[in-house]
A = this chain, B = another copy of it.
């Protein structure tokens, strides 16, 4: 397959479908960072557990057993979720507690589809 400049290739294809507004590069980086953090089944499970917990937060000590991984590994996954803004970490005594943020995922989805609205 050869590379054809878009302007030429659109004429060749007879396209009459000009692109609409597009997410900008900075926003695309931010959105991709959030989704990348969720591109792993362990992190999906961890976030779903934190979201589901009726107390509004979960201790790392309660998250290791359900995913069957060591605490350092779980803490690594949680750090990636926190770096993406999906959870907030609070150290209390010996343990770290995690609670979900309200906006990071919905903001990412919203930015992705904002151009359509």
Residue numbers of A with Cβ under 8 A of B are: 1-7, 9-10, 12-13, 15-23, 25, 28-29, 31-33, 35-45, 47-49, 51-55, 57-59, 61-66, 70-72, 75, 93-95, 105, 109, 112-116
Residue of B nearest to A93 (CB): B13
Residues of B within 8 A of A51 (CB): 112-113, 115-116
| Given known A-B contacts A44-B35, A75-B1, A55 and B17 have beta carbons under 8 A apart | yes
Helix, strand, loop or mixed for chain A's interface? Answer: helix
A1-B75, A19-B53, A35-B38 are known; give 9 further A-B pairs, CB within 8 A: A5-B65, A13-B93, A15-B61, A19-B66, A23-B48, A28-B48, A31-B38, A32-B40, A39-B39
